[in-house]
Structure 1
Amino acid sequence: MRGAIRMSRVKKTGASLTAAVMLGTSLVGCGGGSTGVSGPDKAADKAVDTAKPSASADKPVELTFWDGAWNDAKTPGIVKKFEEKYPNIKIKVQSNPDNGMSDKYLIALKQKNGPDLVNMAVDWITPFAAVGGLMPLDDYIKKDNVDLKDFYDGAISVAKVNDKVYALPYRTETHGLIYNKKLFEAAGIDAAKGPENWTQVMEQAQKLTKGDVYGIALPGTNVGNLTTQLFNMIMSNGGAILNSDNTKSMLTEPAAVEMVKLYVELYTKYKVVPNSMLQNDGVANRNLFSNDKIGMYMTGIYDIDPIKQANANAQMGVAMVPANKNRKTILGGWAVGVTTSSKNPDAAWKFINFITQPDISAEYSVTFSSRKSAAGNPKYQDPLAKPLLEALAYAQPLPQIPQWTQIKQIVFDNVQLALSGKASPEDAMKQASKAIDDLLAKK
């Protein structure tokens, strides 16, 4: 399922978003601005004057909303409720598949021929604002007294560029660890709780590995899948991907190298990861879990129902991501923004304000609402969901810079070298860090 951490579905678009961000920076350059970080700042600021509430949205209008295909079962009901409340506003939904979604969005936004509204992964907001494709929403937020404090801090922070809000998040998520209670019990491991740190993960994975059953699954393919899980591990070990001002790589620091080494050696040395790791993405790992072939893996709430559907007898436990030094995980999610192509921004804002209400966002989201006040919603009271909901308090957004997805690609390429035995984890991170530093140094 899409999401950011973007997770699962989100992660599937890693390669696509790499292309999109690279395209975005080149288009900024073609427009006469810098291809570095400063260029997007100017492009984003340029949209400010068009973002103020204007004429009344009471006259009949039709808005085009670009949504993700995975929402096809939910969006019609949400739109129906909105149109009942605002009968003069009609929403025309265009459903978009995973593959190529970010590229399509970015090209349309840059060329000013996009829809009125876009549903986007939170890490797309900065690149889209960078090319002047999104309207800042601050005046609308002020006019309608939207309480930004009711949004999870990380969720609202990733919606901002230069202290202006370019989208409102409705969906927020982070990773947890799902484990197989039946396999834990068979291996003599306490199934009442998951491993608390990465040493326990390694020890328990070794006990769980027997025959064609493996202790843990980690993705070896798909840029988003691999980097999301690796970055979770690094952050939980007290490490970081970039320094505080996003100008240098931190991947050669001990806290990062330790986790890269563990990620690789769980496969190459300890052999507690399936032999098919280099071909496995998040969906493959979920299928292995559903078939009782792995003891545990990192994922989000969106995998719980598919596992239940695939295996009615699945005995799942859910825990937070193991933490060595810091309880930190990656914050992901989705948000809705008004494009600078829209001729009816007032009406478009009404839809955003509607869809991000606590009850509506909880209904629309396949994970968690971005509103703190929605935490008591009945759908989140499932014992399997609670650890993932609690984990949101520790979730932090990744760096919001235009080069971010290129950085993920660099890390992915070098970790794959280590997994295939062509470089040591240490050398892989040295190469990755040099490439990242060179990328960040470009102006």
Structure 2
Amino acid sequence: MPPGTRRIPSSSASARPPWRFAGSWKARSRPPWPTRRSSTDCRGLPRGERPSHPPPRGPGRPEEVMRKNTRESVRMRSSEAIWQDRRHIMRQGMHWWRFVAIAGIAAAVLTVVAAPATAQVKIRFQTWHWNEKPWVNSLEEFQKTFNQANPGIEVVRDDSRYGDKEAVFTTQSQAKAAADIPHFSYRPIRHFADRGYLLDLSPFIEKEGGQKYLAQWDPQALEICKYKGKIYCLPDDLNPLVLMYNTQHFKEAGLDPAKPPATWDQFLDYGRKLTRAGRYGVGILGARQEGVFMRFNPWLWGAGGDYLTPDEKRSALDTPEALEGFKFYVELFTKHKVVPPGVIEQGAQEVRTQLAHEKVSMIITLPAAPGIVQAINPNMKVREVMALAPVPVGKKKVTSAWFSLRVISAFTKNPEAAWKVYKAWYDKDSQMRNFKIAGVLSSRLDVRNAPEVKADKYAQVFSAQTPYVKLEPLVPEWPKIGDAMLTAIQEGLTGVKTPEAALKGAHEATNRALGVQ
């Protein structure tokens, strides 16, 4: 290409600019000033006076017209190319959106077709047993069986903690976000009903047959579920408490395993003989949880004491009998030293763990304990090592019970689905599964009286104590009364107060809760 020639942009070799001009292509490309060195510039001035820039171009000069037209041509062609590119992109975008739309329609069709196979409603099934063996095995089997049989409903795990389940449920209910089916003992049921936290099950029960349907359960247990003309629950497992002890420890201490302690004096004597280096005779609860009541109450009631007067209007904790039972319990630790240290930190599971690892020899416990102890220490042959006996007797033969209940939250968004899950939990197969896996005794009469239940050596001992079961007062003020007693027990165990002063504080707090001046 000759020097000074400028290339004109073109989209193709055959393209020609849309304008016309004089001269050839070669002439068009010449520069407007001389290319050879001369003594004068284009204006005839001496070269020394030549300006530092090219001479001005007039708009009328052919070369300038040519350049102007060339720039306009480039701009025009550039704009045209841009619009061509945009149209191409738009066509591609239209194809893409057609693809997306078709794919979306196909996905929607597949979703509609597959909808019956996916769960539409999730029911939160809440309990602390999700984290506890062997209970979790029974729960997971129930969950699996129900979900397979009911594709429109899914039972989902909802964990709670035994120690603060009531407080958590209260907070969740205030926010209208409680689990669909929570799990409690019988103690807070009426309190929660008064607050409007529980769903009345009466309409569902009527659809199932009313009294004929309810006749499947123990009538005394069923009464606890009734309050102010409504039914807020069905009775689950009703488990009397008994004495569980290590027969090998008895032999090592020179005690006959076939003759467990039958009285308070014998119990204390056995506790002393079983206590030795690294091992204690008795495990008791002192943690701030409702499990304390089941282990403490047999001593309070066994001495002839009680929480309230017969009319349930005033506290009865100021009687000598109540003080006798209270002192016996706390002095097992403070005076007789047959209980391991750290008692106020020991809850139900901690005490069972002590028994499983042979740190204690005797505990007061419920039917689920053998299976739990076995799960804690798989190396122990629980049914060979552990034996059961009635709670030692004081002035009265009495025991307490773990009475398990499940309710439906008043704030469930799916009451029909929740009832379907609830009903399935209480059917015969589910309740029998709970006995086989967890060892608990159902309130369903057809399960309690089943041959395999009656033939079980542990179940026989627990069932025999049912006539001696006593429960705490079924009053809405119980949460405050129970809280006052827990405070008194911890004060007595730690020595912060004498047994007399600690129990007096519980007595006064109970009267305040009842509105007694």
TM-score when normalising by structure 2 = 0.67
Is 2:443 aligned against 1:373?
A: no
Is 2:172 aligned against 1:104?
A: no
Is 2:396 aligned against 1:317?
A: no
Q: SS where residue 73 of structure 1 aligns? A: helix
Cα deviations by residue, 1:93-141 (Å, 9 ceiling, x for unpaired): 2412316433332233344444443333332322321221222222332
Alpha-carbon distance between aligned partners in 2 of 1:281 and 1:236, rounded to the nearest angstrom: 22
Q: SS where residue 188 of structure 2 aligns? A: helix
Q: Which moved more, 1:252-261 or 1:144-153?
A: 144-153
1:177 Cα deviation after fit: 0.8
What CA RMSD, in Å, does the superposition of the two structures yield over aligned residues? 2.7
- Does the CA contact (< 8 Å) of 2:181 and 2:408 recur in 1? yes
Match of 1:125 in 2: 189
Match of 1:391 in 2: 465
Q: Taking structure 1 as reference, are residues 357 and 325 closer, same or farther at Cα in structure 2, changes over 3 Å only?
A: farther
- Name the amino acid aligned to 1:125: I
Is 2:422 aligned against 1:352?
A: yes
Q: SS where residue 204 of structure 1 aligns? A: helix
Q: How does 1:237-256 map to 2 (within 5 A)?
A: 237-256=303-322
Alpha-carbon distance between aligned partners in 2 of 1:303 and 1:438, rounded to the nearest angstrom: 36
- Name the amino acid aligned to 2:262: E
1:307 Cα deviation after fit: 2.4
Q: Which moved more, 1:196-205 or 1:320-329?
A: 320-329
1:64 Cα deviation after fit: 1.7
Is 2:198 aligned against 1:139?
A: no
Alpha-carbon distance between aligned partners in 2 of 1:220 and 1:103, rounded to the nearest angstrom: 19
Match of 1:91 in 2: 154
Alpha-carbon distance between aligned partners in 1 of 2:420 and 2:300, rounded to the nearest angstrom: 40
Match of 1:274 in 2: 340
Q: Taking structure 1 as reference, are residues 306 and 334 closer, same or farther at Cα in structure 2, changes over 3 Å only?
A: closer
Alpha-carbon distance between aligned partners in 2 of 1:138 and 1:291, rounded to the nearest angstrom: 46
Q: How does 1:154-193 map to 2 (within 5 A)?
A: 154-193=220-259
1:433 Cα deviation after fit: 0.3
Q: SS where residue 433 of structure 2 aligns? A: helix
Q: Taking structure 1 as reference, are residues 77 and 273 closer, same or farther at Cα in structure 2, changes over 3 Å only?
A: closer
1:69 Cα deviation after fit: 4.6
Q: SS where residue 197 of structure 2 aligns? A: coil
The answer for unaligned runs of 5 or more in structure 2 is 1-118, 131-135
Question: Percent same amino acid at aligned positions?
Answer: 25
Alpha-carbon distance between aligned partners in 2 of 1:420 and 1:119, rounded to the nearest angstrom: 31
Q: Taking structure 1 as reference, are residues 424 and 304 closer, same or farther at Cα in structure 2, changes over 3 Å only?
A: same
- Name the amino acid aligned to 2:481: I
Q: Taking structure 1 as reference, are residues 91 and 244 closer, same or farther at Cα in structure 2, changes over 3 Å only?
A: farther
Q: Which moved more, 1:187-196 or 1:149-158?
A: 149-158
Q: SS where residue 283 of structure 2 aligns? A: coil
- Name the amino acid aligned to 2:412: S
1:82 Cα deviation after fit: 3.4
Q: Taking structure 1 as reference, are residues 346 and 280 closer, same or farther at Cα in structure 2, changes over 3 Å only?
A: closer
- Does the CA contact (< 8 Å) of 1:109 and 1:132 recur in 2? no
Alpha-carbon distance between aligned partners in 2 of 1:247 and 1:76, rounded to the nearest angstrom: 44
Would you identify which runs of 4 or more consecutive aligned residues in structure 1 move more than 6 Å?
Answer: none
Q: Taking structure 1 as reference, are residues 372 and 259 closer, same or farther at Cα in structure 2, changes over 3 Å only?
A: same
Q: SS where residue 502 of structure 2 aligns? A: helix
1:434 Cα deviation after fit: 1.0
Q: SS where residue 196 of structure 1 aligns? A: coil
Alpha-carbon distance between aligned partners in 2 of 1:274 and 1:103, rounded to the nearest angstrom: 29
1:61 Cα deviation after fit: 6.0
1:361 is matched with which residue: 425, 431, 443? 431
Match of 1:437 in 2: 511
Q: Taking structure 1 as reference, are residues 395 and 374 closer, same or farther at Cα in structure 2, changes over 3 Å only?
A: same
- Does the CA contact (< 8 Å) of 2:261 and 2:267 recur in 1? yes
Alpha-carbon distance between aligned partners in 2 of 1:427 and 1:246, rounded to the nearest angstrom: 23
1:181 Cα deviation after fit: 0.9
Match of 1:339 in 2: 409
1:362 Cα deviation after fit: 2.8
- Does the CA contact (< 8 Å) of 1:78 and 1:364 recur in 2? no
Match of 1:330 in 2: 400
1:304 Cα deviation after fit: 0.9
- Does the CA contact (< 8 Å) of 1:332 and 1:397 recur in 2? no
Q: SS where residue 216 of structure 1 aligns? A: strand
Q: SS where residue 384 of structure 1 aligns? A: helix
Cα deviations by residue, 1:318-364 (Å, 9 ceiling, x for unpaired): 11222223333223333233333234433433332222123312324
Q: Which moved more, 1:409-418 or 1:99-108?
A: 99-108
Alpha-carbon distance between aligned partners in 2 of 1:343 and 1:403, rounded to the nearest angstrom: 29
- Name the amino acid aligned to 1:385: A
Q: Taking structure 1 as reference, are residues 243 and 147 closer, same or farther at Cα in structure 2, changes over 3 Å only?
A: farther
Q: Taking structure 1 as reference, are residues 69 and 260 closer, same or farther at Cα in structure 2, changes over 3 Å only?
A: closer
TM-score when normalising by structure 1 = 0.77
- Does the CA contact (< 8 Å) of 2:188 and 2:478 recur in 1? no
Is 2:502 aligned against 1:428?
A: yes
1:91 Cα deviation after fit: 2.6
Alpha-carbon distance between aligned partners in 1 of 2:262 and 2:321, rounded to the nearest angstrom: 17
Alpha-carbon distance between aligned partners in 2 of 1:340 and 1:278, rounded to the nearest angstrom: 35
1:442 Cα deviation after fit: 6.9
1:214 is matched with which residue: 280, 294, 297? 280
- Does the CA contact (< 8 Å) of 1:362 and 1:377 recur in 2? no
Q: Taking structure 1 as reference, are residues 65 and 124 closer, same or farther at Cα in structure 2, changes over 3 Å only?
A: farther
Q: Taking structure 1 as reference, are residues 293 and 336 closer, same or farther at Cα in structure 2, changes over 3 Å only?
A: closer
Alpha-carbon distance between aligned partners in 1 of 2:410 and 2:348, rounded to the nearest angstrom: 35
1:377 Cα deviation after fit: 6.0
Alpha-carbon distance between aligned partners in 1 of 2:364 and 2:264, rounded to the nearest angstrom: 12
Alpha-carbon distance between aligned partners in 2 of 1:390 and 1:127, rounded to the nearest angstrom: 31
- Does the CA contact (< 8 Å) of 1:179 and 1:297 recur in 2? yes
Q: SS where residue 406 of structure 2 aligns? A: strand
1:265 is matched with which residue: 325, 331, 342? 331
Alpha-carbon distance between aligned partners in 2 of 1:407 and 1:230, rounded to the nearest angstrom: 14
Match of 1:410 in 2: 484
Q: Taking structure 1 as reference, are residues 153 and 396 closer, same or farther at Cα in structure 2, changes over 3 Å only?
A: farther
Match of 2:46 in 1: none
Cα deviations by residue, 1:9-65 (Å, 9 ceiling, x for unpaired): xxxxxxxxxxxxxxxxxxxxxxxxxxxxxxxxxxxxxxxxxxxxxxxxxxx962523
Alpha-carbon distance between aligned partners in 2 of 1:131 and 1:224, rounded to the nearest angstrom: 20
Is 2:439 aligned against 1:401?
A: no
Bigger Rg, which one: 2
1:88 Cα deviation after fit: 6.1
